[in-house]
Structure 1
Amino acid sequence: MDVIQPFDSGRPEDGGSTPPFLLATDVDGTLLTRDYRLLPEVRTAIQHVRTNGIMVMLATARGPAALKVVLRDLGEVDYAICFGGALVLQRAGGAWTRASSTVHTVHKSDLVRVWELAKSLSLAVGAYTEAGVYIGSPNPWFENELEHTGEPVFPTEFSKIAEPVFKLLVISEPDRIQYLEELRLGLPPTLEGVYSHANYLEIMAAGVSKGQALEAFCESEGIASTAVATAGDSDNDVSMFLWSGHSASMPDSSPAARAAAKWAVPAGSVVGLASAIEHFASSLWRIPTPPKNWS
């Protein structure tokens, strides 16, 4: 794993103009702890880098409805990749608007096919839209998940969903994850599945990923990959780690995420993302490091 080398920032002291820098961070397990808490050190670090001109993008499998509770505690950000790459949004005036006319949705026939396959394997499945989550029938796994994310829940049969579906989430009990893999291997070629947790399988249209969305956004905005830093902890963060010039994995990352990241937050860090931001601040952005009150 490479240590981040000082970046030729193009700042006046380097004889150039300041390029746009972007921090794209995963939400669950990175910005937030595994039990959905936003640590004050992380909040301070995010606010600090935005104050110093670094754009902040949330890169998440969540939809915009589930970011309300995050922003309530965090404060404002600039952009968001939602549904694992299916939708890119920009933030202005306290509201989200689409940052791109390109969106990726799940075809109705694929939606019903996954629903039927999940039922045959006794797996919980939810269909995610901009308005909220359709779960077909009450399910304790989704009730627990959505209690934390705050998304509206609609107990509607999947064949009757009228609005665009951006992703599916299939959840298994921890001792039945082999059935998640069976479902993933049985997906039609129009869909792809990637794990966000050991027992959470995210399913989007083929070719959709956080990395693909990040690359397309940055190309449209004239942001070079060398000016992009990413942070995450799961398999669905690997694609943006591979594209961005700089990346950091959290201490409890999946093996794939840890292997793909160019730098790893040291094991034992209790404020993972804040530590990554401190690292990027000194070695990449060349701004003052965030106020530090942790060991």
Structure 2
Amino acid sequence: MMREANFAGKSEKLKSSEPPAFDLVAMDIDGTLLNSEHEVPQENLAAISAVRSAGVLATLVTGRSTFSLVPVFEQIDLDIPYICSGGAEITDPSTGESIDRRVIARSDLEFIVTTARECKIAMFFSLPDGIYYEAPPGSREDWTPSRAYQVIKVEDILSENTAKAVKIALYGDPDRLSQIETTIRQHGPAVHLAYPLEVFLDVTHEDANKGAALIRLVNHLDVSLEKTLAIGDADNDLSMFNVAGLSIAMGNAAPQVKAAADRIAPTNDENGVAWALREIVLSQNNG
């Protein structure tokens, strides 16, 4: 049975008036659009189709790289640019070309890699030709590889062509990730750090996060940020919650994410995205 949505929220402006009709819906993928079986429920697909028919644009905003989006794009078609790699890239789905890319400087990469090796933390690099993986001795290696794309394991990630690296996903136990996060913040370069999951810490360019990328995408599409709806479930969604006109946290989101949202939807296994699109977007745009 679908749980009742909680309409409590952070935004004072919404207490005095209803949110405006929407121009754009920006949806996170894992824990949001996808259910726990990593599938896009048919109810979500139908709701996305309905908002498009109503003249509302819909896109994805994800920490995943383009390569790891292959199984998602087998289930959903996009007709406008999407945000990936935690905000480091905005990509045109019709051409596969990047509209905007924020590359991590080589000196910053060297610091992150050296520190990760010392902390025994595995690293995934998102590069233009694939996802590369280095596992220092003693690091956690229990991740499950995808059948949809290849992850290339190397002994020394810095020996690869990292000139266009946009994201480093650090993989390890939460305590080790907390340790390296502290080290980077205290002694490292000015980069953006975000947790898409408790066992992953994403490192991107200091100007690369979901919120900053959403602003760039809205400008590219020439739509209103105030009329943009953001839906997500994790800490790395908070930056887009802060800039979107309305934010919705999934029912399965962490407490701090729910506290930052304007609305709370049912969980990803209860078709929370479909609920948000029907009850918030379609009701406003058709009202």
TM-score tier, shorter chain, comes to 0.7 to 0.9
Q: Any stretches of 5+ residues in structure 1 without a counterpart? A: 10-19, 288-295
Task: Give me the identity figure in percent.
Answer: 23
Q: How does 1:59-138 map to 2 (within 5 A)?
A: 59-92=61-94, 95-100=95-100, 103-137=101-135
Moved over 6 A (4+): none
Q: Distance in 2 between matches of 1:211 and 1:132?
A: 25
Residue-by-residue CA offset, 1:101-128 (whole Å, 9 max, x unaligned): xx21112232232222222222221111
- Alpha-carbon distance, 1:40 to partner: 1.4
Q: Which residue of 1 aligns with 2:18?
A: 6
- 1:144-171 deviation per Cα after TM superposition (whole angstroms, max 9, x unaligned): 1x416x3321223211121411101112
What is the 5 A alignment of 1:1-295? 1-2=8-9, 5-9=17-21, 21-92=23-94, 95-100=95-100, 103-137=101-135, 140-142=141-143, 144=144, 146-147=145-146, 150-156=148-154, 157-163=156-162, 164-173=164-173, 177-187=174-184, 188-266=188-266, 270-286=270-286
- Partner deviation per Cα, 1:65-111 (whole Å, 9 max, x = no partner): 2222111112334221111111111233xx423334xx211122322
User: What TM-score does the superposition give when structure 1 sets the normalisation length?
Assistant: 0.82
Q: How many residues align?
A: 267
Aligned to 1:223, what secondary structure does the other structure show?
Answer: coil
Question: Partners of 1:257 and 1:264 in 2: how far apart?
Answer: 10
Task: Name the aligned partner's letter for residue 157 of structure 2.
Answer: F
CA distance in 2, matches of 1:196, 1:107: 22
Between the two structures, name the one with larger relative contact order (CA 8 Å, sep ≥ 6).
2
| SS class of match (1:193) | strand
Q: Which amino acid aligns with 2:202?
A: E
Runs of at least 5 residues in structure 2 that lack an aligned partner in the other structure: 1-7
TM-score (norm 2): 0.84
The CA deviation string for residues 156-215 of structure 1, in whole angstroms up to 9 with x for no partner, is 321112141110111223xxx111011011111322211111221111111321000111
SS in 1 for 2:149: coil
Instruction: Quickly say closer, same or farther: Cα 1:140–1:88, change in 2 above 3 A.
Output: same
Partners of 1:81 and 1:87 within 8 A in 2: yes
Q: C-alpha separation between the residues in 1 aligned to 2:267 and 2:158?
A: 46
